[in-house]
Structure 1
Amino acid sequence: MRISCNGCRVLRKACGEDCVISPCLKWINTPASQSHATLFLAKFYGRAGLLNLLASGPVNQRPAIFRSLLYEACGRIVDPVYGSVGLLHAGYWQRCQSAVDAVLRGDPISPVASDAAENSRMLYDVRHVSKDETLVNARGPEKAKKGCSGTSEE
């Protein structure tokens, strides 16, 4: 009888020769970290969702898919709007890496503080665009004369 891998053990699922999770955990050093990462992803994506996402890729790319899902999930916890790509683009990749390290240790992840989140979102925020009349009234002067009902006010 084959012993279940740490991922299957934490998901309480049978582990066979064609296990989807087992090859994905080889890059993680300790059995406890493997369990923490699998449990975190199963909570984030759902058990069936995680297994379907891993099974949908080629066998040789499944470890990379697992790692990518882990970084994206941690990025979404830290910055729910922009995720790991937003953290990378804003120059805060270390926060995503710290969140992954926390998951592997079994520690909780905390979202970005509001001032840091605002600074990272300034790259994407359109509130700084001026409200120029030509931009607001993009339909043209003849449309601007009409009221809400669409009829002309003459």
Structure 2
Amino acid sequence: MLFASLQLLITLPTNSNITKSLSLSLSLSLSLSLSLSLSLKEWIFEDLALLRVEKILMMASGYSNSPCAACKFLRRKCNQDCIFAPYFPPEEPHKFVNVHKIFGASNVSKILNEVLPHQREDTVNSLAYEAEARIKNPVYGCVGAISVLQGQLFRLQKELDATNADLIRFTHEGSSSLGLGHVHSDDFFNYPSNLSNDM
């Protein structure tokens, strides 16, 4: 009886006469039985603590009351055993939209079921990267990005080789103009032994 009146007190608007009478009856019944009041408080706090623990456990397992981005996009109910829930959180709907657009939900589900559980997060991140690259560059996808980076690496390597060749040439020209003969490039920064410090 006390629990029912407490629930009504919470759900009714604060300015109604029913609320005032319920709060009066609730305060009278609580003042009559102090031990009942303490047990009610303990019960409420235990229940709240249990709800918090359940919420933390559900968040840790990747399941929450709101559907994952995949189930929300596919307009289906998100169960606790949803394979998409840990990897497509509701806060990142674009991630699943891109993956679904390129690979399809059933193919992604098959891929995730074939992969070991500890490799699934990396698999989803790889699929998301490939899908985003394919959307940005429909012809080459992520291979286009790799090709661009390889081209930059090749140009930088050629520039480095040319700079090293210039450095060796300048060190050779500098040593021959001083009459020192051939100086190896490793010895360029060492002080030549045939020049004295008393100059």
TM-score range, shorter chain: 0.3 to 0.5
The structure with the largest helix share of the pair is: 2
TM-score (norm 1): 0.47
Structure with bigger RCO (C-alpha 8 Å, 6+ apart)? 1
